[in-house]
Structure 1
Amino acid sequence: MVFAAIDIGSNAMRLLFCRVYTVDGKPHFSKEELIRMPIRLGEDVFLHGTISDAKADRLITALKGFAELIKAYGVEAHRAVATSAMRDAKNGAEIIARVKAEAGLIVEIIDGKNEAALVFSNHIEELLNPKHAYLYIDVGGGSTELTLYYDNKVIAAKSFNIGTVRMLLEKVEKDEWDEMKSWLKRNTVGIHPLSAIGSGGNINKIFKMSGKKETKHLSYDKVKNIYDMLCSYTYQERVERLDLKPDRADVIIPAAKIFLTVMKNADIEKVFVPQVGLSDGLVHQMYDTFKKAKTTVKS
Structure 2
Amino acid sequence: MADYSPPPRGRNGQKVNGRAGAAARDRAADPSPNRPGGPGRPEPAWKQAQRGAPFQRQAFAAIDLGTNNCRLLIARPQAENFVVVDAFSRVVRLGEGLAQTGRLSEAAMDRALTALQICADKLKRRNVHLARSVATEACRRAANGAEFIARVREETGILLDIISAKEEARLAVMGCHLLLESGQGPAMVFDIGGGSTELVLVETRPDDVPLIHDWQSVPWGVVSLTESCEHEPDDPVGRAVRYERMKELVRDSLAPFAERALDWLERAAPDEPLRLLGTSGTVTTLASLHLELPQYDRSAVDGLIVQSEAMRALCESLSRMTPAERRAQPCIGRERSDLVVAGCAILEAILDLWPAQKLGVADRGIREGILRGLMASGDAAERARATLREMKRQAS
CA offsets, 1:100-150, max 9 Å, x none? 111001000011000001111126247643513210010001111111112
* 1:6-45 correspondence runs (5 A): 6-22=63-79, 27-45=80-98
Alpha carbons of 1:79 and 1:151: their partners in 2 closer, same or farther (altered >3 Å)? closer
> Does residue 2 of structure 1 match 2:90?
no
Q: Which amino acid aligns with 2:117?
A: K
Taking structure 2 as the reference length, what is the TM-score of the superposition? 0.69
Aligned residues: percent identity?
27
Whether contact under 8 Å (1:202, 1:248) holds in the other structure is: no
Taking structure 1 as the reference length, what is the TM-score of the superposition? 0.90
CA RMSD of aligned residues (A): 2.3
1:138 maps to what in 2? 191
Alpha carbons of 1:294 and 1:54: their partners in 2 closer, same or farther (altered >3 Å)? same
Determine helix, strand or coil for the equivalent of 2:228. coil
Alpha carbons of 1:241 and 1:159: their partners in 2 closer, same or farther (altered >3 Å)? closer
User: Quick one: distance in 2 between partners of 1:268 and 1:130?
Assistant: 14
> Does residue 272 of structure 1 match 2:330?
no
* 1:85-234 correspondence runs (5 A): 85-122=138-175, 124-125=177-178, 128-150=181-203, 152=205, 153-170=211-228, 177-188=251-262, 189-190=265-266, 191=269, 192-211=272-291, 213=300, 216-234=304-322
Alpha carbons of 1:210 and 1:31: their partners in 2 closer, same or farther (altered >3 Å)? farther
Aligned residues: 295
Tell me which moved more, 59-68 or 213-222: 213-222
> Does residue 242 of structure 1 match 2:316?
no
Bigger CA radius of gyration:
2
User: Quick one: distance in 1 between partners of 2:86 and 2:168?
Assistant: 22
Alpha carbons of 1:67 and 1:151: their partners in 2 closer, same or farther (altered >3 Å)? closer
Whether contact under 8 Å (2:166, 2:215) holds in the other structure is: yes
User: Quick one: distance in 2 between partners of 1:88 and 1:71?
Assistant: 31
**RCO (CA 8 Å, sep 6+): is it higher in 1 or 2?**
1
5+ residue gaps in structure 1?
none
User: Quick one: distance in 2 between partners of 1:272 and 1:232?
Assistant: 25
Alpha carbons of 1:249 and 1:175: their partners in 2 closer, same or farther (altered >3 Å)? closer
Whether contact under 8 Å (1:138, 1:200) holds in the other structure is: yes
User: Quick one: distance in 1 between partners of 2:159 and 2:316?
Assistant: 42
CA offsets, 1:184-203, max 9 Å, x none? 23213424310111101221
User: Quick one: distance in 1 between partners of 2:280 and 2:97?
Assistant: 21
Tell me which moved more, 201-210 or 177-186: 177-186
CA offsets, 1:215-263, max 9 Å, x none? 7211220111111222232212222343523221222221122122112
1:42, distance to aligned residue in structure 2 (A): 1.4
Whether contact under 8 Å (1:137, 1:259) holds in the other structure is: no
Question: 1:263 aligned to 351, 359, 384, which one?
Answer: 351
Determine helix, strand or coil for the equivalent of 1:36. strand
User: Quick one: distance in 2 between partners of 1:94 and 1:207?
Assistant: 38
CA offsets, 1:155-174, max 9 Å, x none? 11121111111111126896
Determine helix, strand or coil for the equivalent of 1:273. strand
Tell me which moved more, 182-191 or 51-60: 182-191
Determine helix, strand or coil for the equivalent of 1:43. coil
Whether contact under 8 Å (2:181, 2:275) holds in the other structure is: no
1:151, distance to aligned residue in structure 2 (A): 5.0
Q: As a proportion of its length, which structure holds more strand?
A: 1
Q: Which amino acid aligns with 1:247?
A: E
CA offsets, 1:76-99, max 9 Å, x none? 322111100111010110110111
Determine helix, strand or coil for the equivalent of 1:218. strand
Determine helix, strand or coil for the equivalent of 2:259. helix
Alpha carbons of 1:174 and 1:90: their partners in 2 closer, same or farther (altered >3 Å)? farther
1:68 maps to what in 2? 121
Alpha carbons of 1:291 and 1:127: their partners in 2 closer, same or farther (altered >3 Å)? farther
